[in-house]
Structure 1
Amino acid sequence: MVQFDSQARSPWTPLAGVERLRLTPSQKRINATLEVPGSKSATNRALLLAAVASGTSTLRNALKSDDTYWCIEALKKTGVEIAVDGSNVTVYGRGGVFHSGSLYIGSAGTAGRFLPGMLAAATGNWHVEASHSMNKRPIAPLVKTLQALGAGIQYGDRRGHYPLSISGEGLNGGKVNMSGQLSSQFISGCLLAAPLAKEPVSITVKGGIVQQAYVRITIDLMAAFGVEVKAAPDWSLLEVNPSPYVANDIAIEADASTACYFLALAAITAGKIRIRHFSTKTSQPDILFVSILKRMGCNFEIGPSFVEVEGPLV
């Protein structure tokens, strides 16, 4: 078994190696046009979809973060070739064929919830370890659902938590029930693996879905890679037919959470900040922050691919 450092941090960790950072208040009105990194939620979903697709995918404006670093490293250990050039990532998909081995996902929550199903749908054996903090986070609802679909997944040191041993023999498909009140990532993890099953997958969701917007992000990205999800109007039923993922060239939308900091900066300094490659039509829930700034008296200009905020003069 490969030994991993449970406290390991990626070289992409923000401010890695910086001992001191000094900030001083601006003495003038801030006016700027800028771009923010891509969404973490979209980046890790797209990485996994591109890896399991057939063909070469290019992800533009991908986020470089601790989570995406460990997701990429784990995929590389399965034999997926990935090239990172600044914010552009090229993924040479293997069509769902992965090398067996030991993997480490750090504290990447999205990889931790999305990777097991895709491995279980393939053929091979994997031991997946995570960081100390990730080991504390529950995984049982997802594992239980994947097992009902035919996945060979066993717990390691502690039932319901990482590490996991996965014996990939394919997913059978079928009908399953999931609670929507725990984490939308469990539902997304099942959805991402569903088209790789031998038979259609039908997911009945009980109690509504918390953070429904993130399931929408999952469905939209699955569509971008060639797979349709049929969703009931109230999200109580999700259906997916067996279908291969197809490589694509996509732009990862700007991260709404990151954008909010700069929009807030314009608001509190009576400045004007325009964020390019950003749209209020995004499914990311943090875009609702825009409506809060409007109520605070900020002025907005919204274009097809930008959002501009001007703070109120005081």
Structure 2
Amino acid sequence: MLFTLHKSTLLETLPNIVITGSKSESNRLLLLQALYPELSIDNVSNSDDSEVMQKALASTSNQIDVSHAGTAMRFLTAFFVTQEGRELVITGSARMKERPIQVLVEALNALGADISYLESEGCPPLQIKGKSLSKDKVTLKANVSSQYISALLLIAPKLKNGLELTLEGKITSVPYINMTLDLLKQIGVDTNFTNNSIKVRPLENLNSQQQKLTVESDWSSVSYFYSIVALSPVGTEINLSYYKKDSLQGDSVLASIYIDFGVITTFNDNSITLLKQTDSQVETIDCELQNAPDIAQTIAVTCFGLGMSCHLTGLHTLKIKETDRLVALKTELEKLGARVDITNDALQLHTSTQITGNVNIATYHDHRMAMAFAPLALKTNLNIEDAMVVSKSYPTFWEDLKSIGFKISK
């Protein structure tokens, strides 16, 4: 479905926006809840990906289809190999069948799992025969997607001898690994992360103090409001719930990055207030985003909307997301009049003072493409193709934008 975003101005008084729980935290906790049924979770994400996780974990079918949900594919693969006696096939969309999973499959098989490929070598669909994993040591390249690492860590407490994971080289997305380890600690699991070695001890059952957790709202989703405030006049202010200063989410680095755009973040009891305090005093944004690659699209679009340049690095994992996000960003920004150079792990946006309006932005089945470009409606008219792809992580996105003054028609 194509949405037309008409050039908009924010309302003078903006409502408080409540953003659903973090997809990253929710999907980790949903897997842990499947391993430890006594665990209860509040503020679970209402995203498509988390619904896929919930349905798959509750299903008794011998075929699980995760559609476009990459996190679900990786986490569920690890989960189902531990389910003794159960045999099933896990598959997904056409794009999912192109996304690599060999690193995780080889690691699980090295621990004693029984996983085989049904179509292309190294990609879903997978045939899984659940069994008890007999080994407790495995080594991975450290620069792989953190989701492979987290998938292994999440099942580790239920392995007979736990897990000792060795990472070779420079580690990618450390905050997401730390998020997984912190959630494990919150339910009572003994973990140790020293240098390039991670050890997780087995845990049979939870005690009564570790049986209820609340999911923090999603920092990736709040990035679009940082962009909106940055693209708005000085004095624009918006309040968003539920957020905390000591967040586990790597994307919480937004609070410091957007200072360069003139946006100040104030942490309240369980919310944040974003204030456009001043126009940006810098001409270019230089960010290393290895630990927070999901906010690269938002930052690039913000810079373009403000006529700034940016140099974003540490983006090698973007090539294996819902689409090749670096190529997609270059293609769509250039439709709007930008000049963009990309490599395998970086994006350079050159300063441009003109924005070409009334163009169609393709989203490539990627929720973040739709949401990252939407704030440009504060500068010009544009059309978002396949606009409801946002339901993957933020189903109420368009309604929330309308509530603050965006003019949107179908």
Establish whether TM, by shorter chain, passes 0.5: yes
- Structure 2 distance, partners of 1:53, 1:102, is 23
Give the TM-score normalised by structure 2.
0.62
Report SS of the residue matched to 2:21.
Answer: coil
- Structure 2 distance, partners of 1:27, 1:65, is 26
Structure 1: which amino acid aligns with 2:135?
G
Structure 2 match to 1:41: 24
Aligned length: 273
Question: Are 2:143 and 1:178 equivalent residues in the alignment?
Answer: no
CA drift at 1:215: 0.8
- Structure 2 distance, partners of 1:262, 1:61, is 20
Q: 1:58 to 1:197 in 2, by over 3 A?
A: closer
Q: Are the counterparts in 2 of residues 173 and 194 from structure 1 also a CA contact under 8 Å?
A: no
Work out which of the residue numbers 24, 32, 37 in structure 2 matches 1:54: 37
Structure 1 match to 2:104: 142
Q: 1:236-262: per-residue Cα shift (whole Å, max 9, x none)?
A: 001112213537322111111111212
- Structure 2 distance, partners of 1:162, 1:20, is 32
Q: 1:190-224: per-residue Cα shift (whole Å, max 9, x none)?
A: 11111221223211111132111111111122223
What percentage of aligned pairs have identical amino acids? 29
Structure 1: which amino acid aligns with 2:187?
F
Question: Are 2:14 and 1:25 equivalent residues in the alignment?
Answer: no
Report SS of the residue matched to 1:203.
Answer: strand
CA drift at 1:117: 1.9
Structure 2 match to 1:292: 257
Give the TM-score normalised by structure 1.
0.80
- Structure 2 distance, partners of 1:299, 1:65, is 28
Structure 2: which amino acid aligns with 1:253?
E
Structure 1: which amino acid aligns with 2:27?
N
Q: 1:211 to 1:313 in 2, by over 3 A?
A: closer
Question: Are 2:268 and 1:303 equivalent residues in the alignment?
Answer: yes
CA drift at 1:33: 2.3
Task: Please list, as runs of the form range in 1=range in 2, the aligned pairs for 1:217-256 lying within 5 A after superposition.
Answer: 217-232=179-194, 234=195, 236-244=196-204, 246=206, 248-256=211-219
- Structure 2 distance, partners of 1:106, 1:230, is 34
Q: Are the counterparts in 2 of residues 52 and 245 from structure 1 also a CA contact under 8 Å?
A: no
Structure 2 match to 1:106: 67
Task: Please list, as runs of the form range in 1=range in 2, the aligned pairs for 1:158-197 lying within 5 A after superposition.
Answer: 158-197=120-159
Work out which of the residue numbers 116, 128, 136 in structure 1 matches 2:77: 116
Work out which of the residue numbers 51, 58, 68 in structure 2 matches 1:69: 51
Report SS of the residue matched to 1:159.
Answer: coil
Q: 1:264 to 1:241 in 2, by over 3 A?
A: same
CA RMSD of aligned residues (A): 2.1
Q: 1:47 to 1:200 in 2, by over 3 A?
A: closer
- Structure 2 distance, partners of 1:298, 1:188, is 32
- Structure 2 distance, partners of 1:289, 1:242, is 35
Report SS of the residue matched to 2:189.
Answer: coil
Gaps of 5+ in 2: 280-410
CA drift at 1:288: 1.6
